[in-house]
Amino acid sequence: DVKVTQSSRYLVKRTGEKVFLECVQDMDHENMFWYRQDPGLGLRLIYFSYDVKMKEKGDIPEGYSVSREKKERFSLILESASTNQTSMYLCASSLSGSYGYTFGSGTRLTVV
Amino acid sequence: EDQVTQSPEALRLQEGESSSLNCSYTVSGLRGLFWYRQDPGKGPEFLFTLYSAGEEKEKERLKATLTKKESFLHITAPKPEDSATYLCAVRTSGGSYIPTFGRGTSLIVHP
């Protein structure tokens, strides 16, 4: 069964910390995505990548960066965590734009 | 701007009471409409892709249909385990292949 694995289900970090969220897929997918999901706001795209070392800004990239050094791994970095980055973070991958996403289980991040 | 609207926001059903969820869209050049199911605290799970008006897909008690302006997710004789949030997403032909997500319908099925 194909999988997208996010390294942590729950994470608590302090304001100002640098935070790394890791995502690994085992499906040889070209495209990978990072979303955040907040009540009442739905899914919002932070960054996406359509190839190794390539990245594109989504709708809300401010305060985030990403890294894709290998095809299977896409990392989201919060340079200096703030309380307004408390959220559920979802990683996804897809074979191409014509296909649906496979999502990870999510990381619920709390910044205190 | 592409718009995807799901209705209702929340739906409560009794077990066995069939109903439909709606996903309406105002986009140019539909390239795919996707349905997902999301359980609380988990990532969305892909259900269906529909590409053209008149297309239908089925999975157990779920049936998705597509017209030129909307999609319906029909739930026949639902069970409590069908309780979840159902999301739709629309991909268009214009530029980016990134789909636009609706905000979802929260379904609760009471035993």
What is the average per-residue pLDDT within B37-44? 95
- Give a three-class secondary structure readout of A26-48: CCCCCEEEEEEEECCCEEEEEEE
Which residues of chain A neighbour B42 with C-beta distances below 8 Å? Answer: 105-106
Q: Which residues are registered as beta bridge partners of A94?
A: A31
Nearest to B82 by CA among B39, B24, B33, B30: B39
- Does the pLDDT of residue A79 top 90, yes or no? yes
Q: Is the peptide bond preceding residue B40 cis, with omega within 30 degrees of 0?
A: no
B95 to chain A, any CB pair closer than 8 A? The answer is no
Predicted confidence (pLDDT) per residue in B86-99, tens digit: 999 998 876 667 88
What is the average per-residue pLDDT within A93-112? 91
Inter-chain contacts counted by CB atoms under 8 A, chains A and B: 50
Position B27 scores a pLDDT of: 77
B104 to chain A, any CB pair closer than 8 A? The answer is yes
Predicted confidence (pLDDT) per residue in B56-107, tens digit: 999 999 999 999 899 999 999 999 999 999 999 998 876 667 889 999 999 9
Q: Structurally, how many domains does chain B consist of?
A: 1
Position B96 scores a pLDDT of: 67
CB B4 within 8 A of CB B105: no
Contact check, Cβ <8 Å, A100/B42 = no
Contact check, Cβ <8 Å, A97/B44 = no
Predicted confidence (pLDDT) per residue in B15-24, tens digit: 999 999 999 9
B91 to chain A, any CB pair closer than 8 A? The answer is yes
pLDDT tier, A95 (very low <50, low <70, confident <90, very high otherwise): confident
pLDDT tier, B30 (very low <50, low <70, confident <90, very high otherwise): confident
Predicted confidence (pLDDT) per residue in A11-29, tens digit: 999 999 999 999 999 988 9
Chain A positions contacting chain B at CB under 8 Å are 4, 31, 33, 40-43, 45, 48, 58, 90, 92, 96-106, 108
Contact check, Cβ <8 Å, A103/B43 = yes
- Does the pLDDT of residue B39 top 70, yes or no? yes
Q: For the domain that residue B102 is a member of, what is the CATH number?
A: 2.60.40.10
pLDDT tier, B1 (very low <50, low <70, confident <90, very high otherwise): low
- Does the pLDDT of residue A50 top 70, yes or no? yes
Position B2 scores a pLDDT of: 66
Class of domain A4-111 (CATH, top level): mainly beta
Which residues of chain B neighbour A92 with C-beta distances below 8 Å? Answer: 43
- Determine phi and psi for B82, rounding to 5 degrees: -85, -5
Contact check, Cβ <8 Å, A103/B103 = no
Range of the domain at B80: 3-110
- Domain residue ranges of chain A, discontinuous segments joined by +: 4-111
How far is Cα A101 from Cα A48, in angstroms, rounded to an integer?
Answer: 12
Which among A48, A90, A105 has the least Cβ separation from residue B98? A48
CB B79 within 8 A of CB B109: yes
- Does the pLDDT of residue B3 top 90, yes or no? no
